[in-house]
Amino acid sequence: HVPSRPFVGSSAFAHKGGLHVAAVLKNEDTYQHINPNAVGNTRRILVSELSGRGNIVSKAKELGLYNAEASDEEWKARSKVILGQVKELENKGYTFEGAEATVELMIRRTVPNYQAPFEILDFNVVTTNKYGPFIASVSQATVKIELVKDTSDGSEACQMITTLEVGEGNGPVDALNSAMRRALEASYPSIASVLLTDYKVRILDNEAATAATTRVMIQFQDVETKIRWTTVTAHPNIIVASVNALADGFEYAMLQRAPKCLHSDV
């Protein structure tokens, strides 16, 4: 489980730079002295500000999103848009090397007919605490979400509903997670199997003190399928960054749960 371990670590056969990836895609031996399969490993193509078009196309193929029927010009234009977003967001504090779920969502969102299964319209968080450092506090969150109704009739037309839910937690992020789950589980009960397994926060510009930009990375796991995924966001407001990371994580979880009307070819 240590990414940096020689041969067997997840980063041992990871490729990042655009020229680097272009060479590997043409001839693996240019940057790989052995076949990763020989040591039970696999090649990984990372996406970052150093990426080229090959990184995006390779990642799309790896995720099963590549549509061979699209022309080279269409994929060239799509890759350019994604790379522009990657560079802009990394300048704001994002990092995509460990957040492949966010990368997949970025690729999907470049598809003209892609529709997210839900959208957060509004949210509010309140934390109450009597004076005293050791007195337990309770946070309450209200979330208003517009989401696609889960229909069983196979209808190709999406029906949208709006729901307002309240959740409680031992902090604002926990309360928001609770409220979002209540809103989504009402129409998609299988979301109950999706758990948050890690929550990481990093301050990016210490000199800004309490106004600093915060990067949030959240790891999720589906206890039924055992699949894990990670999302990343960055924002000067830690609550907003957390909400965005939560929303992306649940959107990724719903890709396989969304009704037929949302299914589209990439």
List, for residues 77-116, the tens digit of each pLDDT value: 888 888 888 888 988 899 888 888 998 898 888 877 788 9
- pLDDT of 51 reads 66
Confidence of residue 149 (pLDDT cuts 50, 70, 90): confident
Out of 81-95, 132-146, 175-189, give the one with best mean pLDDT.
175-189
Which pLDDT value is given to residue 266? 46
More confident residue, 124 or 133: 124
What number is the average pLDDT over the span 156-183? 92
Strands (E), the chain: 14-15, 44-45, 118-128, 138-148, 160-169, 194-203, 214-222, 228-235
Higher pLDDT, 2 or 155: 2
The percent of residues in the chain predicted with pLDDT above 90, rounded, is 39
pLDDT in tens, 200-249: 999 998 888 888 999 999 999 999 999 999 999 999 999 999 999 999 99
| b/e burial code for range 35-65 (CB count within 10 A of at least 16 → b) | ebeeeebebbbbbbbbbbbbbbbbbbeeeeb
The secondary structure of 10-60 as a DSSP string is TTTTEE-SHHHHHHHHH-GGGT-SS-GGGGT---EE--STT--HHHHHHHH
Mean pLDDT score across all residues of the chain: 83
| Position 154 pLDDT exceeds 60 | no
pLDDT of residue 65: 73
As a whole number of angstroms, the distance between CA 226 and CA 234 comes to 27
- Supply the pLDDT for residue 25: 62
- Mean pLDDT value of segment 174-183: 96
pLDDT digits (tens, 9 = 90+) for 53-65: 777 777 777 777 7
26-50 pLDDT, tens digit each: 667 777 778 878 888 776 766 766 6
Which of 68-72, 148-152, 213-217, 259-263 is modeled with the greatest confidence?
213-217
Q: At what angle do helices 72-91 and 53-62 cross, to 10 degrees?
A: 100
pLDDT at 250 over 60: yes
Dihedral of alpha carbons 139, 140, 145, 147, sign = positive
